[in-house]
Amino acid sequence: MVIAALVLLPIAAVVWIAFNPSDNIWPHLLSTTLPRYLRNTVVLMLSVGVLAGAVGTGAAWLIARYRFPLSRWLEWLLLLPLAIPAYVGAYALVDLLEYAGPVQTGLRRLMGWQSARDYWFPEIRSMGAAVIVLSAALYPYIYLLARTAFREQSRATEEVAMSLGAGALGRFFRVGLPLARPAIAAGMAIAMMETVNDFGTVDYFAVQTLTAGIFSVWLESNNAGGAAQLASVVLVLVILLVSMEKLSRSKTRFFAMSNRYRTIERTPLPTGAGLLAMLACLIPFAMGFLLPAGVILNHAIANAALWADRDLLSALWNTVAVGGTAAVLTVLAAVFMVYGVRLSGRQLPRMLLPLTTIGYAAPGAVLGVGILIPLAAFDNALADGVEALTGFDIGLILTGSAVALVLAYGVRFFAIAQGAADAAMGRISPSLPMAARSLGRTRGQVLGQVYAPLIRGSVGSALLLVFVDCVKELPATLLLRPFNFDTLATRVHEQASLENLGDASPAAVLVILVGLAAVAMLARANR
């Protein structure tokens, strides 16, 4: 119950502060910036959902159904954009395509143009560019789920459709797509929630979304109540998104009616069609991974001396220390909570368990508002109380350190750890702990001697995934970090915001390498 309260309190705090602000600027927001923030957020979210959904679903269908050049390699290469945060992709795209970048510079030399008045080039820092960058970074969520769904479909449905005269496109739209729709909808919902959470990309492209508005109202206007009101709008938007995803499936269910299940064998494509399929899969891989990784790596090599920079090493240590602490505490809390719910057998803990996953749907900026304001009030009250009793000023222990960051990471990524622990314990036969109890083992010994060895692999995977997400998290880190406390993510953001991609590149490379470790484990688990 205590763990559930810690996870749910930041969300409740946002709602409470929004309805009880010290300075109510809701009418002002409603008449000025809120419509623009909301419109941009909805347009960006839907555009990314549609584009990432189309790319991820199309690539998954080609990989699951056909054989063509490099298809075996592309099956896993298409996952690599997960290793690169969207804001890194944004910095790389602007560096490549801006007026002083290599593309426009090369065009001017080649064509003899003297200035921007001599030619037209699309605006890079725009809504369209943000849609492309976010779609390239987030399509793997849809691709991974859709590929699994297409693979699990029976060969019998394909044969029936072919016997009724359905061609390749007909089988995709009338058989494959409807059967995979729940998985695709879930992937699109994740991509759209990550779009709402994004701050680095929209800030760099000057797209005013609700998340950017939270930073603006809180840090520039110094109005925490207004930030909480904007955060509550984001929460409503996310809840509506999740509800729509569930309602869209309604009560539709698909079942295999035959016990003679056969997997679908991939069909070799003719040379021309195979090359087109390869190109269709290479484009999102190049946009989502090759382009940003290549640009960042080029800058990192050109600025090799920065790898020994003291500030970079300090940011690396802060990232490992805070991310590692948050990952360990989050996974331990999840294991303890899942085990406790299984032992209690009571209704209230069972009802609270799925509610604790709401933190993953809440953007980091929302959690920043919900954690920092009440935590700062408690911290100040604690410091005043200790000083009144002892005469000694202990300072701000919680908000003046990385405690708030650890708490934010734990709340944000508790769903990953809880899901892994719940699934792992669910695979263990109840007879094993019952046998241990009959032999005189305590409940704690059962957890340590029976469950722990059997769930070790899942717990290790959860630790890595939570740690990687902590490394990449930007909005919550920017809001909650102490003064003069940088992580790799904040260092990349700060240097890139100053148009200094060279100084940002070593930290960005380290973030990418950490992400690659998680993608490698994900690929191994989904063989």
Which domains are present in the chain?
1-9+305-527 (1.10.3720.10), 33-62+82-252 (1.10.3720.10)
Q: How confident is the model at residue 243, as a pLDDT?
A: 76
The structure's pTM equals 0.86
Given its phi and psi angles, is residue 21 left (phi above 0), alpha (psi -120 to 50 degrees) or beta? beta
Closest CA to 402 of 337, 332, 469, 470: 470
Span 306-318, pLDDT tens digits = 898 899 999 999 9
CA dihedral (83, 87, 88, 94) positive or negative: positive
CA distance linking residue 332 with residue 459, whole number of Å:
9
In this model, does residue 319 exceed pLDDT 90?
yes
More confident residue, 126 or 221: 126
Task: Decide: residue 175, CB within 10 A, 0-12 exposed, 13-18 middle, 19+ buried.
Answer: middle
What's residue 428's pLDDT? 81
Q: How confident is the model at residue 322 (pLDDT cuts 50, 70, 90)?
A: very high
| Higher pLDDT pick, 346 / 93 | 93
Please, what is the average pLDDT of the chain? 86
DSSP class of 267: E
Specify the pLDDT at position 420: 84
**158 vs 499, residue with greater confidence:** 499
Rounded CA gap, 370 and 362, in Å? 10
Work out the angle at residue 109's Cα, subtended by the Cα atoms of residues 103 and 110, and round it to the nearest 5 degrees. Answer: 85
pLDDT for position 484: 85
Triad 293, 298, 300: Cα angle to 5°:
95
In 324-419, the DSSP E strands lie at none
The pLDDT tens digits of the residues spanning 443-494 come to 888 888 888 888 888 888 888 888 988 998 999 898 888 888 999 999 999 9
Q: What's the whole-number mean pLDDT along residues 31-49?
A: 93
pLDDT tens-digit map of 89-103 = 999 999 999 888 899
